């Protein structure tokens, strides 16, 4: 019984150390990854998407060319 507890403790310590050192290696990220992209809302369907992927027309944003052509959706959203 004592041997079993010893091995469980040893394996738990090894997993804890592995996670601790693995987490430190993955922690440094570039400033671009930490900064969130500005989001805009599609005037037709209301979907939020990054501004650099959205289409703009007359100070309104759209998620696709089809929604841009259809124009703003209903205002009940």
Spell out the per-residue pLDDT of the chain, length 77, in tens.
899 999 999 999 999 999 988 877 665 666 656 678 899 999 999 999 999 999 999 999 999 999 999 988 775 45
Residue 71 pLDDT: 86
CA distances from 16 to 19, 21, 33 (A): 5, 9, 27
Look at residue 77 and tell me if it is in a domain: no
pTM for this predicted structure: 0.52
Look at residue 39 and tell me if it is in a domain: yes
Look at residue 65 and tell me if it is in a domain: yes
Look at residue 62 and tell me if it is in a domain: yes
Look at residue 28 and tell me if it is in a domain: yes
Residue 54 pLDDT: 94
Dihedral sign from CA coordinates of 45, 47, 53, 59: positive
- Residue indicated by tokens 């090894």: 14
DSSP H stretches of helix in the chain: 2-26, 31-34, 65-70
Look at residue 76 and tell me if it is in a domain: no
d(CA 51, CA 38): 6
Residue 36 pLDDT: 81
Structural domain range at position 30 = 2-70
Q: What's 75's DSSP letter? A: T
Looking at the 3D structure of the chain, how many domains does it have? 1
Residue 68 pLDDT: 92
Q: Which two tokens mark 66? A: 């089809």
């Amino acid at each position: 019984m004592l041997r079993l507890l010893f091995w469980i403790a040893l394996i738990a310590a090894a997993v804890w150390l592995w996670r601790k050192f693995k987490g430190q290696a993955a922690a440094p990220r570039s400033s671009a990854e930490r900064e969130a992209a500005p989001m805009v809302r599609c005037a037709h369907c209301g979907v939020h998407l990054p501004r650099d992927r959205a289409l703009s027309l007359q100070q309104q944003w759209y998620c696709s060319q089809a929604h841009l052509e259809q124009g703003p959706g209903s205002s009940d959203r």
